[in-house]
A and B are shown apart, each in its own frame.
Chain A
Amino acid sequence: AQRVTQPEKLLSVFKGAPVELKCNYSYSGSPELFWYVQYSRQRLQLLLRHISRESIKGFTADLNKGETSFHLKKPFAQEEDSAMYYCALKDRTGANNLFFGTGTRLTVIP
C-alpha cells in the first residue's frame, strides 16, 4: 500500500538559513512525487514535481529511490516561505490517485 510520511509537523528556521522538509514514501512500484504548498489563506497549490527536475521559488527536491525519500530543500529561507507543505505520491498504475502526507508547517523567523 502507498504511504507518505512527513516526520515533522512543525519546522522553524531563521531567515537566510537552509531548510529541509523531509518526506519518505512507501510504494511498491515507480511513483511520481510532488510537493504541494498552502500559504496562509490561500488554496493548496503545486510547488514542484520530481519529473520536472526544476527549481521553484528556490526549492528543489530529489527523488532518492534507495532511501525512498523526496526531501524538499532550499539553501536560504525567506519569510514568504512560511506555509504548510505537503508531500504527495501519485500511483502510476491504474487509478493515478494522489496520496498526501500529513504536512509540515514551516515558519521562517525574521
Chain B
Amino acid sequence: EAGVVQSPRYKIIEKKQPVAFWCNPISGHNTLYWYLQNLGQGPELLIRYENEEAVDDSQLPKDRFSAERLKGVDSTLKIQPAELGDSAVYLCASSPSQGLTDTQYFGPGTRLTVL
C-alpha cells in the first residue's frame, strides 16, 4: 500500500504568489488532516475533515489559506497569497475515523519555500 500521498514534495515560490498542495489519503480513511510544521517545531493542526466536511478549521488562517476535500477522498490546501512566514513543511495525515484509538498515518510532506 502506498500510504498517504502528497505532491509536490518541494515547492519554491516568490511571495505573493499562490500555491497549492495535494493529498491523497489511504484508501478507506474517512478522516484527513492538514498540519503545518515550522522548522524546529512539531506539527500543528490546520484543518481536519470527516469525509468531505471540515469539522475543525479553527487553526486555519482563513484570510489566505483555504482547503477542500471534494468527494471526501483527496484534498487540496491552498495559500493565496503566500508570505515569507509560510515557509514550512505541510503534512497531510489520514485515519480510518476520528475515534480515540485510530492511528494517524502521515504523508511525506510538502516543503514550501517562499522567497
Please tell me which stretch of B10-18, B36-44, B64-72, B77-85 contacts chain A, meaning at least 4 of its Cβ atoms lie within 8 angstroms of it.
B36-44
* Chain B proximity of A71: nearest CB distance (Å): 17
Q: Looking across the interface, which residue of chain B has its beta carbon closest to that of A90? A: B100
A86 neighbours in B (Cβ, 8 Å)? 42-43
Q: What size tier do the contact residues of chain B reach? A: 20 to 34
* Chain A proximity of B42: nearest CB distance (Å): 3
Number of A-B contacts defined by CB within 8 Å: 47
Interface SS of B by simple majority: loop
Q: How many residues of A contact B (CB 8 A)?
A: 22
Q: With A100-B44, A102-B42, A103-B42 as given contacts, are A43 and B109 in contact (CB-CB < 8 Å)?
A: yes
A97 & B45 in contact (Cβ 8 Å cutoff):
yes
B55 neighbours in A (Cβ, 8 Å)? 95
B4 neighbours in A (Cβ, 8 Å)? 43
Asked whether any CB of chain A lies closer than 8 Å to the CB of B107, the reply is: yes
Q: Looking across the interface, which residue of chain B has its beta carbon closest to that of A92? A: B100
As a 0/1 sequence over residues 76 to 110 of chain A, the CB contacts with chain B under 8 angstroms (1 = contact) are 00000000001010101001111111110000000
Q: Which residues of A contact B (CB under 8 A)?
A: 4, 9, 32, 43-46, 49, 51, 86, 88, 90, 92, 95-103
6 A-B residue contacts at CB 8 Å?
Answer: A43-B107, A49-B103, A51-B101, A95-B55, A96-B99, A102-B40
